[in-house]
Amino acid sequence: MIRRVGCGLAIVAIWLLVFGTAAHLRWNAPLLPQQRLGLDANAFRVVMGAGSQDGTSLRVGRVGEDGSALQMMPVAQLRAEDYAVLRYRFDGFPRTLELSFVFRRAGEDDVQTATVPWPGDGWHSIDLNEVPGWHGEITELGFAEYATPQIAPESNAFRPFRFDRTELWSASWRGSFGALYTSWFGCTPWALMSISALGPQREVAQPAPLLPFALAATVSSLLAAGLLLRWPRRLLLQRLCMACAALWIFLDLVWLGDFRAKHQLTEAVYAGKGWSERAALVPDQDIRLAAEQLRSYFSTQPGHQILVIADSKYTFLRLIYQMLPLNAAPLDQALGLRWPRRDTRIVLYQSTQWHYDDARGALIGAGRALAVEPVFEAGDVHVYKFRGAP
Amino acid sequence: MSAAFVLAWILPLVCGMAVYAAIDPRSAPGRRAAVFGYGLVLGLLLTAAATALCARADTTHAVRHTAPCLLLLALLAGATTWWRTRRAVRAPLAAPPARVEKWKIVLGAAALLSLAWRSWLALREILLRPTYPWDAWDAWAVKSKTWFLLGHYAPFVSTRDWLGQHPPDAYTGPAWSYPSALAWMQVWFASGVGDWIEPLVNLPWFALWLGLLAAHYGQWRALGLSRLQALAFVYVLGSLPLLAVHVALAGYADLWIAALLGLAILSWLRWLGERNRNQLVLALACAAALPLLKLEGTVWLLLFGATVGYGALPRQRRKQVAAVLVLLLLIMAVVGKLLLPLYGLGWVNVGTESIDVPVLGRLPIGWHPGALGGLTLSLFAQSNWHLLWWLTPLVVAWRWRELRAREATRLLGLFLLLGLSWLAFLFLGTDAASWAESFTAVNRLVMHLVPATVSLCALLCCAPRRARRGRASAYAVQPAAA
């Protein structure tokens, strides 16, 4: 009996040690937070978007012109070092939105932001020690909501939601384990990185990965049990095999939950819509619109080679794909190889590195000048006819 | 859903199944699943090849131009199957399967349910979302979309040639040198739909998923696993998160490489166990198709060919021949004269300071310890592979005697060792280290070896006891037809 009790205690100690390490737990911290700063949402000021008070909550009903909503609240004499955990609770938060924690430090004009896990039902927590910039005196804090980057089309992302309450907790076991739970079992949306790795997340604070800690806790517990209960080697091996199988199934269930949550964002954006409507609902709708304008313009022109200029690789490659079957290539790749033909068209899209110099009749950028003649313009889209090197 | 779209799906499946049955008409446990799985994968690849041959001038009506060719192939394959099986000795009725405990049945059903659930999620994800991941539209769908919307084939050339208009109707792009098999397959399905509808063009990735799991189940059964054991390992394979991601976010070629390499390995294992030449033909056909899917396929073909060749040598000569070859290659590399003509990659020059790949550029050789962190996190910490890379070395250590005792597992282990060593060298010894540090390619290249790794674990874990005493494997394969 004593051995069994000892074994139970050893397993509890192992799990506390392993998961406490994963949670960056301060071992001398109290079980419950000694300082709590609770902030009802109705005390927050709507800086961007529109919202109305609903009891102690705040109903956010609209985003601002830039597609985001922001709620802020001034706080007095708040030392960042006194608080280690941020908790937040929203109701009906749309899958298609991302949430950021925003704060301003004393004497600074710019705010600091940190993407936090998507707030599903109930309370969610993050470890503030992992948030860059969380130090010094905080004068203002709040939350920003916007279409989830890389995945949710801005035009279709917003749905009204309710912001209930947020709390700041001083360091405690409960707070640390709460933040660990959120980071391991919270939802993360698809990102461009998802096709290559499921680990790195968009949140600023990268959580400790679940797998090695769960494996360490499982194996150590079994070894401790085997040692204390004097299991024969064969029995220990059998139980290790069973534990690994059970852990595999557990990890798989966690992954299935995450997969389902990721898919729910897709359902929220695309379900019940026709093919053409869905094709238009891409995260980069501005690029798609520009491509449509270009296709429409070039449909009235004889076939030309087209060189595309944009600031980011993603933008010019995406524009070229959306323009297909127009025959286009990035100017970046063509520079330095050989001069294009004189009737080549050059598309300039949302570029800060290249500009058209009217006086010289040239596109200037990347240390070069290309003699061109403007032939088409619509919004951010500019088309020039290449006339040669000046 | 139009009749052409239904035909576009039925024809590759029927053709692929007929071709598999024609190549290997022998009965074996799990044959139906193997025929279905291989049939789906081979059928889709045959369709891509036939579309490339028959529909270059009119991609809009690719189904109309290509379907007769596929139909003819299916009929020929069907006739060959009939001819090859007509004199076959009918297999005696298999003994009724042993009684399985109820809890095992429940576990098996739960595994199936779990696979069905994620398959449903992946299918819905494909059907709802336009092409999403970067390379899916930037590299793999560019050619197919261009050809389909143009209405005909147009060559893709380097940017320099494009600027010089050689040839005049050429296109270019970052992936101009990538193989075109998947592009032709997408042209076929776009033609079946009658429009460029990305979710429908990406549906073959779901078919590939089904084919991969079914083929592995079937071949594992033929390799001696019981129904429950095969199902358990199908769950292991199907539950790996990054595989499901490549189905749901369809459009990358890596899952095709993983599936085809996995199928090649399974057929090769059956040849090693049964000396069934039909399976050797399948293995070689699957391996030969790898470079048509992705440039890395050439490397896997080379390593697979080397392992098959090594296995074909008389046992007493293997070590000497391998040592001489390795020495020769090392000397050639040191003097900078190691030129390898690799399909799709050009003449690859391997030296001591760099590897020059004509279509990719120069990969300087140098120690990059920083990539070790990325590699370790990818395999052992992130949620990409569950416990696969923790358990595989343990399984190999635990079943070392089984691995050594059987030719099939020994050679498969050698192939995986070569493959993983190549990846380790690539990420730690060349500038490709940045792919590991940024997590951009490390898991996708590792994925190519994952089905083969699960096969090794399955064979080792389920090796029958008598194999432990050094006997041959317990394959229950019926005698061949003519």
Any idea which residue has 């060189």 for tokens? A307
Any idea which residue has 């697979």 for tokens? B304
One domain, residues A29 and A131: yes
Q: Do A194 and B249 touch (CB under 8 A)?
A: yes
Cα(A372)–Cα(A344) distance, rounded to whole angstroms?
A: 10
Instruction: Using CB atoms, pick whichever of A271, A278, A327 lies closest to residue B130.
Output: A278
Q: What average pLDDT score do residues A251-277 get?
A: 94
Asked if A289 reaches chain B (Cβ–Cβ under 8 Å), the answer is no
Residue of B nearest to A270 (CA): B128
Of the pLDDT bands very low, low, confident and very high (cuts 50, 70, 90), residue B349 is: confident
- Provide the 10 A C-beta neighbour count for residue A85: 24
Cα(B202)–Cα(B186) distance, rounded to whole angstroms?
A: 7
One domain, residues A184 and A57: yes
Proportion of chain B above pLDDT 70, given as a percent: 93
Residue A120: left (phi > 0), alpha (psi -120 to 50), or beta? beta
Residue of A nearest to B394 (CA): A241
Type of residue at B367: W
One domain, residues A177 and A298: no
- The answer to whether residue A275 is domain-embedded is no
Q: What CA–CA distances, in Å, run from B143 to A327, B81, B152, B176?
A: 11, 36, 11, 8
Domain count within chain A: 2
- The answer to whether residue A344 is domain-embedded is yes
Q: What is the pLDDT of residue B389?
A: 97
Give the closest-approach CA distance of A265 to chain B in angstroms: 10
**Chain B residues with CB-CB distance to A192 below 8 A:** 133-134
- Provide the 10 A C-beta neighbour count for residue A273: 14
Any idea which residue has 């959120």 for tokens? A182
Give the closest-approach CA distance of B321 to chain A in angstroms: 39
Domain end point (choices A195, A226, A245): A195
Average pLDDT, chain A: 91
Q: Do B141 and A321 touch (CB under 8 A)?
A: yes
Please say if the pLDDT value at position B469 is more than 90: no
Please say if the pLDDT value at position B256 is more than 80: yes
Question: Among A122-126, A179-183, A364-368, B269-273, where is mean pLDDT lowest?
Answer: A364-368
**Chain A residues with CB-CB distance to B252 below 8 A:** 195
Number of residues that this document lists for chain B: 482
The model's pLDDT over B24-61, given as tens digits with 9 standing for 90+, comes to 988 889 999 999 999 999 999 999 999 999 999 999 99
Any idea which residue has 């050689």 for tokens? B166
Instruction: Using CB atoms, pick whichever of A259, A275, A341 lies closest to residue B118.
Output: A259
Residue of A nearest to B388 (CA): A248
Over its C-alpha atoms, chain B yields an Rg (Å, rounded) of 23
| DSSP assigned state of B253 | S
Over its C-alpha atoms, chain A yields an Rg (Å, rounded) of 27
Q: What average pLDDT score do residues A158-176 get?
A: 94
Question: Among A166-170, A180-184, A368-372, B62-66, where is mean pLDDT lowest?
Answer: A368-372
Q: What CA–CA distances, in Å, run from B61 to B16, B71, B151, B357?
A: 21, 16, 8, 37
- The answer to whether residue A78 is domain-embedded is yes
Please say if the pLDDT value at position B95 is more than 70: no
Q: What average pLDDT score do residues B86-102 get?
A: 68
Q: What is the pLDDT of residue A343?
A: 83
Domain end point (choices A195, A221, A239): A195
Beta bridge partners of B300: none
Mutate to test the interface with A, among B2, B106, B129 (most CBs of A within 10 A): B129
Domain end point (choices A195, A213, A229): A195
Please say if the pLDDT value at position A371 is more than 80: yes
Give me the phi and psi of A39, to 5 degrees please. Answer: -125, 110
Of the pLDDT bands very low, low, confident and very high (cuts 50, 70, 90), residue B128 is: very high
Q: Smallest Cα–Cα separation from B23: which of B43, B52, B44, B7?
A: B43
Q: Do A260 and B390 touch (CB under 8 A)?
A: no
Q: What is the pLDDT of residue A206?
A: 66
**Chain A residues with CB-CB distance to B244 below 8 A:** 259
Identify the H or E element spanning B355.
strand B354-357
Looking only at the bridges linking them, the beta strands covering A345-349 and A306-309 are: parallel
Dig out the tokens for A282 from the structure: 């891409």
Please name the residues between 210 and 239 in chain A that touch chain B, using a CB distance below 8 Å.
210-212, 215
One domain, residues A67 and A170: yes
Of the pLDDT bands very low, low, confident and very high (cuts 50, 70, 90), residue B476 is: very low
Residue B131 CB-half CA count within 13 A:
26
One domain, residues A183 and A35: yes
Looking only at the bridges linking them, the beta strands covering A355-357 and A381-388 are: unpaired
Number of residues that this document lists for chain A: 390
One domain, residues A80 and A191: yes
Q: Do A195 and B246 touch (CB under 8 A)?
A: yes
Dig out the tokens for A50 from the structure: 């529109």
Instruction: Using CB atoms, pick whichever of A215, A278, A321 lies closest to residue B128.
Output: A278
Q: Do B159 and A329 touch (CB under 8 A)?
A: yes
Most trustworthy range by pLDDT among A65-79, A97-111, A270-284, B38-52: B38-52
Cα(B420)–Cα(B445) distance, rounded to whole angstroms?
A: 10
User: Does the predicted TM-score (pTM) go above 0.90?
Assistant: yes
Mutate to test the interface with B, among A234, A240, A252, A315 (most CBs of B within 10 A): A252
Residue B361: left (phi > 0), alpha (psi -120 to 50), or beta? left
Maximum CA extent, chain A = 93
The model's pLDDT over A41-52, given as tens digits with 9 standing for 90+, comes to 999 999 999 989
- The answer to whether residue A244 is domain-embedded is no
- Provide the 10 A C-beta neighbour count for residue A108: 12
- The answer to whether residue A251 is domain-embedded is no
Any idea which residue has 């083969």 for tokens? B452
One domain, residues A291 and A181: no
Type of residue at B275: R
Give the closest-approach CA distance of B296 to chain A in angstroms: 16
Higher pLDDT: A202 or B324? It is: B324
Asked if A327 reaches chain B (Cβ–Cβ under 8 Å), the answer is yes
One domain, residues A187 and A291: no
Give the closest-approach CA distance of A80 to chain B in angstroms: 31
ipTM of the complex: 0.92
**Chain B residues with CB-CB distance to A340 below 8 A:** 163
Q: What is the pLDDT of residue B215?
A: 97
Contact B273, B223 (CB under 8 A): yes
CATH of the domain at A174: 2.60.120.430
**Chain B residues with CB-CB distance to A331 below 8 A:** none
The model's pLDDT over B8-29, given as tens digits with 9 standing for 90+, comes to 999 999 999 999 999 998 888 9
The model's pLDDT over B380-398, given as tens digits with 9 standing for 90+, comes to 999 999 999 999 999 999 9
Asked if A247 reaches chain B (Cβ–Cβ under 8 Å), the answer is yes
- The answer to whether residue A10 is domain-embedded is no
Q: What is the SS3 assignment for A319?
A: helix
CB within 8 Å of B325: residues ≥ 6 apart: none
Cα(B447)–Cα(B374) distance, rounded to whole angstroms?
A: 15
Question: Among A132-141, B168-177, B358-367, where is mean pLDDT lowest?
Answer: B358-367
Instruction: Using CB atoms, pick whichever of A247, A270, A334 lies closest to residue B387.
Output: A247
Cα(B349)–Cα(A349) distance, rounded to whole angstroms?
A: 40
Give me the phi and psi of A261, to 5 degrees please. Answer: -65, -40
Please say if the pLDDT value at position A40 is more than 50: yes
Q: Do B439 and A260 touch (CB under 8 A)?
A: no
Give the closest-approach CA distance of B266 to chain A in angstroms: 24
Of the pLDDT bands very low, low, confident and very high (cuts 50, 70, 90), residue B1 is: low
Q: What CA–CA distances, in Å, run from A112 to A97, A103, A204, B440?
A: 19, 5, 11, 28
End-to-end CA distance of chain B: 43
Give the closest-approach CA distance of B190 to chain A in angstroms: 13
Residue B245 CB-half CA count within 13 A:
25
Of the pLDDT bands very low, low, confident and very high (cuts 50, 70, 90), residue B92 is: low
- The answer to whether residue A45 is domain-embedded is yes
Please say if the pLDDT value at position B166 is more than 80: no
- The answer to whether residue A241 is domain-embedded is no
**A379: containing domain:** 285-388
Angle between helices B254-274 and B407-429 (to 10 degrees): 150
Contact A97, A146 (CB under 8 A): yes
Cα(B262)–Cα(B37) distance, rounded to whole angstroms?
A: 12
